[in-house]
Amino acid sequence: MRTYRLAVTGMTCEDCALKIQTALNELSGVQASVSFEENLAFIEAPEAVAGDELAQRIRTEGCDARLDARLVETDDRVPTKYEGGADARHIAIIGSGGGAFAAAIRAAEAGARVTMIEAGTLGGTCVNVGCVPSKITLRAAEIAHAGGYHPFDGVPRTGNTAVDRARLLAQLRGRVDELRQAKYQKILDDNPRINLIRGRAHFEDPYTLAVALKGGERQRLRVDRVLIAAGASPSRPPIPGLAEAPYWTSTEALFSDEVPEQLAVIGSSFVALEIAQAYRRLGSEVTILARSTLLSRADPEIGAGLQAAFEGEGIRVLTHTQAERVAHADNTFTLWTNNVGPIAVDRLLVAVGRTPNTADLNLQAVEVETNRRGAIRVNERLQTSTPTIYAVGDCANLPQLVYVAAAAGTRAAINMTGGEAALDLSVMPVVLFTDPQVASVGMDEGQARVAGIETESRRLELSEVPRALANFDTRGFIKLVAEAGADRLIGAQVLAHNGGEIIQVAALAIRHHMSVHELAGELFPYLTMAEGLKLCAQTFTKDVSQLSCCAG
């Protein structure tokens, strides 16, 4: 790729600049941004596209252009950068979560000047109210549960080992603050190319952001590229009475100083199920209301297996059940449902997904398209429908996973600074941190069928995995899906204690186009849960119940 800076004369308004930009971007492989205010065109073009061709394209729109003398050519990993550094590409990033920081770091490394704009707490969802506090809570609940229910020594157990909620919250908040300082604030402090503005941004045009600062003032930013990484917020379903009730979102549930006697959970996916099990293990009586089944978008065997594990711990799971009305009085929530009558509880958690934070960005002014949920549509380069504006993370139509956001942020930064990178989600491992954990990668049988792929699959019960037997915990299974005929591994689904720790093995096998027979022939340490992948692969040709331990 080559980078050009062209001086443009004859533009009379922003519409002129937009027309020229559109005309340039119609050329194959060209990315252009045109500034009416500066009378400049910034263009990234393949080697085969000459500067004269670009200038001629501008002339067809009634303006003139000449190559700016300050051009410095760059390779495909380096941003548009000009002599003296003062004119380095200016990138604005709306948000400060994992995707935003990954992009800021990469763009700064490439020489760009980065301005981050954050209206809330630095660090976004994951470190503050998502991954970090939830995993601390889950681990504390797991230890409490193990103390009361472990299978060893033959002594009957009657309950959990109590967790001091106040001390746990102090630990949780301390660790969150520590990580926010080390992984976010320190990066800002140490990197002069990244500047943070505290305020709320919206678009005026593709190159101009208006920022309402926290002190009440307003600031306008003129930039070359914008990355939207605004995140998402807990959704509220349209249940009569819910808006007037003091229900919990995941944030309140993770930071509450109480463990209620009875907790109802509306929702049946990742956040709902993790928190539901944690509170059961911390001492609450828990009822889950699932509109369909648990994890209804996953392989049905996974949801059924997890439901059995939950019910084994005393969690009440109501499938095909919806709350039709909610009321709160005298410190009690009452939920009227479609099929089981009223349910009365002390606390109500609503965890039915997250809504992208895009409503206040004025996206219509810059013609950025969203889907019906408000998520910004992006291509594999993370570009929106307006080529100079990019989006990553929970506000985009991408999986709401922080490692996807970070990978997308890095690739968006490469593309915004003159490089070429695509986000490949064809092999994306996913983990639900319940116990047993749910882990999957690639396609299940249903997804393969939709894709027109004929499959062959095997399911291995954990009672056939030596490590699970040694742990006295054989809840769950491992399932491998292969393309019929070629025997190429295309998917894996795991329901197992610490199943998330083994799924990356399957991800790498899929990435490198291994067959199930090649996977079966690999050396796996004994005793490990990962050995279950080998054993499951062996079931395509053998009866593993007839093999000795460690049979190769």
Find the CATH number of the domain harbouring 12: 3.30.70.100
Residues 209 and 92 in one domain: yes
The tens digit of pLDDT for each residue in 220-260 reads 999 999 999 999 999 999 999 999 999 999 999 999 999 99
- Please give the biggest Cα pair distance in the chain: 87
Residues 289 and 268 in one domain: yes
Cα–Cα distance between 126 and 134 in angstroms, integer? 9
Say whether both 272 and 334 belong to one domain.
yes
The model's pLDDT over 310-330, given as tens digits with 9 standing for 90+, comes to 999 999 999 999 999 999 999
Any idea what DSSP says for residue 473?
-
Q: What is the pLDDT of residue 82?
A: 30
Least confident window among 31-35, 157-161, 475-479: 157-161
Position 61 scores a pLDDT of: 86
pLDDT digit string, tens, across residues 492-523: 999 999 999 999 999 999 999 999 999 999 99
Residue showing tokens 């807990």: 234
For residue 38, what pLDDT band results from cuts at 50, 70 and 90? low
**pLDDT-above-70 percentage for the chain:** 93
Report whether pLDDT(72) > 50.
no
Mapping DSSP to helix (H, G, I), strand (E, B) and coil, where does residue 93 land? strand
Which conformational region is residue 87 in: left (phi greater than 0), alpha (psi within -120 to 50 degrees), or beta? alpha
Q: Does some domain include residue 473?
A: yes
Q: For the whole model, what pTM was predicted?
A: 0.83
Task: Note the pLDDT of residue 70.
Answer: 35
| Of 250, 246, 245, 247, nearest in space to 234 by CA | 250
Phi and psi torsions of 379, nearest 5°: -95, -175
pLDDT digits (tens, 9 = 90+) for 370-382: 999 999 999 999 9
pLDDT at 211: 97
Q: Mean pLDDT throughout 168-180? A: 97
Please indicate, yes or no, whether residues 132 and 275 belong to a single structural domain of this protein.
Answer: no
| Within-domain flag for 145 | yes
End residue of a domain, out of 352, 373, 396: 352
Residue 184 lies in a domain: yes
- Residues 436 and 416 reside in one and the same domain: no
186 and 92 in a common domain: yes
- Of residues 155 and 322, more confidently modeled: 322
Q: In the structure, what pLDDT confidence band is assigned to residue 86 with cuts at 50, 70 and 90?
A: very low
In the predicted structure, residue 52 carries a pLDDT above the cut 90 = no
Task: Using the predicted structure, report yes or no on whether residue 391 has a pLDDT greater than 90.
Answer: yes
Beta bridge partners of 220: 210
**Chain CA centroid to CA 399, Å:** 5
Which range has the worst mean pLDDT, 27-31, 65-69, 372-376, 472-476? 65-69
Q: Record the tokens describing residue 259, joined without a space.
A: 């463990």
Indicate if 39 and 185 belong to the same structural domain: no
Between residues 417 and 52, which one has the greater pLDDT?
417
Give residue 60's domain range: 2-67
Residue 478 predicted with pLDDT over 80: yes
Mean pLDDT of 481-486: 96
Please check whether residue 240 lies inside any domain of the structure.
no
Contact between residue 310 and residue 302 where contact means Cβ atoms under 8 Å apart = no
- pLDDT above 90: percentage of residues in the chain: 78
Query: What is the C-alpha separation between 154 and 161, in angstroms, rounded?
Result: 17
Same domain, 317 and 380: no
- Does residue 108 sit in the same domain as residue 196? yes
Residue 238 lies in a domain: no
At 337, which CATH number? 3.50.50.60
Tell me the pLDDT of the chain averaged across its residues.
Answer: 91
Q: Specify whether the CB–CB gap between 328 and 347 falls below 8 A.
A: no
Model pLDDT, residue 155: 60
Q: What is the pLDDT of residue 16?
A: 78
Give the closest residue to 503 by CA, choosing from 436, 439, 411: 439
Q: Can you tell me the distance from the alpha carbon of 79 to that of 276, in angstroms, rounded to the nearest whole number? A: 47
CATH number at residue 493: 3.30.390.30
pLDDT of residue 12: 76
Question: Mean per-residue pLDDT for 100-109?
Answer: 98
The continuous run of DSSP H or E covering 233 comes out as strand 232-234
According to the model, what pLDDT value does residue 35 have? 75
Backbone angles phi, psi at 510, to 5 degrees: -70, -45
CA angle 389, 395, 397 (to 5 degrees): 85
The domain boundary residue, chosen from 405, 425, 445: 425
Q: Establish if 312 belongs to a structural domain.
A: yes
pLDDT value at 472 more than 50: yes
Quick one: average pLDDT of 118-138?
Answer: 96
Average pLDDT over residues 89-104: 97
> Is residue 244 domain-resident?
no
Q: What residues have CB less than 8 Å from 26, skipping those under 6 apart?
A: none
**Stretch 406-425: mean pLDDT:** 97
The answer on 459 and 437 residing in a single domain is: yes
Both 193 and 209 in one domain: the answer is yes
382, 411 Cβ separation under 8 angstroms: yes
Q: What is the pLDDT of residues 343-366, one digit of tens each?
A: 999 999 999 999 999 999 999 999
Give the confidence band of 71 by pLDDT, cuts at 50, 70, 90. very low
At residue 453, the pLDDT reads 97
552 lies in some domain: no
Number of domains forming the structure of the chain: 4
Q: Are residues 214 and 360 in the same domain?
A: yes
Our measurement of the distance from residue 469's CA atom to the centroid of its chain's CA atoms, rounded to an integer in Å, reads 34
Domain final position from 21, 40, 67? 67
Q: What local confidence, expressed as pLDDT, does residue 76 receive?
A: 31
Q: What is the pLDDT of residue 216?
A: 86
